[in-house]
Amino acid sequence: MRRPLIAANWKMNHLLADSISFFKLLNKKVNDYLLVDVAVCPQATLLRQTRESAIERILIGGQNCHHEPSGAYTGEISAAMLKDAGAQIVILGHSERRRLFSETNEDVNKKVIICCEEGVHPILCIGESQAQRDKGLTFNVLQEQLKKCLMELPIEEAHKVTIAYEPIWAISGGDATKKSATPEDAQEAHNFIRRELSKIFTHDIAQKIRILYGGSMKPENVEALIRMPDLDGGLVGGASLDPGKFLEIIAKTHQYYSSL
């Protein structure tokens, strides 16, 4: 059985003081939920501090990375720098980066490869827009993103990758009333993703890769989502900013897994 992972994507939110109080609460309670792996991805300026504040079992991650190892790339951060700052994982190819900063599947592919080489394990984000879904293109989009973003990744590196299915139309953008995908729609997409991963790698590898759901996961809907057989946790944006809500998502995931 795959261990679930609940990962926080803080996006461009939280200052040092917020982060310190967040970990005061998270550290105290998170070991009550040992069946769940936990990660927090803050802005790069907070990486070192979050690694030092968080207890060891909480993974710390970046939100982006440049594909070159070093050089004249003002404002960019390399995989080695992420690692040096304490990151063990990194979110790559988030739809906000694709949409607002013109990242292509080819760019994301190079980032996935260098991060795996450097030992910073990627959470690769894929997902369709509302317009693509309306046109019945969801599976085509997911298939193309997976194929292109994982191209030429050596098969020995596949175990380092986590996939996050993030339907763009369900991402909250800070709107707590936004609806997530239904558990059934999420399961359909996750199952498709796993079958594609079997083709790209092998059946056994695909069975081991975690596929997270991202798009308005919150305490109110996590119980229904987490029951889906191909859904192995969440990449949580808005609801991860509040340590109480984030812990509730972790607690409900733990509760479900302890009932299995």
Interaction site with ligand PGA (CB under 6 A): 9, 166, 171-172, 214-217, 235-239
Q: How far is the CB of 236 from ligand PGA (least distance, A)?
A: 5
Q: Which is nearer to ligand PGA, 162 or 216 (CB)?
A: 216
Residue closest to ligand PGA, measured at CB: 237
User: What is the closest distance, in whole angstroms, from the C-beta atom of residue 190 to ligand PGA in the complex?
Assistant: 15
Of 225 and 239, nearer to ligand PGA (C-beta) is 239
DSSP bridge pairs for 121: 89
**Closest to 115 measured CA to CA, from 63, 50, 52:** 63
| Active-site residue flag, 94 | yes
Residues 6 or more apart from 17 whose CB is under 8 A from it? none
- 3-state class of 159 per DSSP? helix
- Which one, 120 or 241, has the nearer CB to ligand PGA? 241
CA dist list (Å): 216 to 77, 83, 162: 28, 29, 19
Residue among 66, 166, 190, 254 flagged as catalytic: 166
Of 94, 121, 190, 254, the catalytic one is 94
Nearer CB in complex with ligand PGA: 23/169 = 169
User: Structure tokens of 17?
Assistant: 């003081």
- Residue 166 annotated to the active site: yes
CB of 238 to ligand PGA, least distance (A): 3
As measured in angstroms, the least distance from the Cβ of 174 to ligand PGA is 7
Amino acid residing at 138: T
Total residues found in the chain within this entry:
260
Tell me the C-alpha distance between 179 and 171, whole Å: 8
If you compute the radius of gyration of the chain from its CA atoms, what whole number of angstroms results?
Answer: 17
By annotation, the residues acting in catalysis are: 94, 166
